[in-house]
């Protein structure tokens, strides 16, 4: 699914989520209009941002990405590490899968599983 592209990825006049280090909590802005249009998504996101734990944050991200795709939610997703916007959700899935797999591999190699 194609994602919304923002003009200002740090301002308060657009709705976006910054991704960094395998997480969706780096930086976020939801406009008043966005909150009104997608209240369930905003509630789910806030619950994830406030209460996700090391044990369940991947599941919560999975739920949020599925909501974005299935409900065609108009939100921009941005890679805060490389300062580039994601064009579509397929790129975001690849990012998370690659990041999580590398973290899992690192944990196994260093006996942290």
Domain ranges of the chain: 16-97
Give the C-alpha separation, 59 to 87, whole Å: 23
The predicted pLDDT at position 87 comes to 93
In angstroms, the Cα distances linking 16 to 88, 109, 112 are 13, 35, 34
Do the beta carbons of residue 6 and residue 16 sit within 8 Å?
A: yes
The predicted pLDDT at position 110 comes to 55
Residue 67 has phi, psi (to 5 degrees) of -65, -45
pLDDT, block means (10 residues), the chain with 113 residues: 88 92 88 98 91 80 94 94 90 87 58 55
The predicted pLDDT at position 21 comes to 82
Q: Which residues contact 64 (CB under 8 A, 6 or more apart)?
A: 24, 41, 44, 45, 48
Question: If you search the block for the tokens 């209240």, which residue do you land on?
Answer: 39
**Residues linked to residue 76 through DSSP beta bridges, in sequence order:** 16
Nearest Cα neighbor of 35 from 26, 23, 44 is 44
Residue 78: CB atoms within 10 A of its CB come to 23
């Amino acid at each position: 699914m194609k994602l919304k592209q923002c003009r200002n990825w740090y301002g308060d006049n657009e709705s976006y989520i910054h991704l960094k280090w395998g997480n969706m909590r780096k930086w976020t802005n939801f406009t008043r209009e966005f909150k009104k249009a997608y209240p369930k998504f905003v509630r789910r996101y806030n619950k994830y941002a406030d209460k996700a734990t090391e044990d369940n944050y991947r599941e919560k991200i999975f739920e949020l990405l599925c909501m974005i795709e299935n409900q065609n939610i108009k939100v921009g997703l941005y890679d805060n590490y490389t300062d580039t916007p994601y064009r579509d959700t397929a790129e975001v899935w690849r990012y998370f899968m690659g990041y999580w797999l590398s973290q899992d591999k690192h944990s196994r190699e260093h006996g942290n599983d």
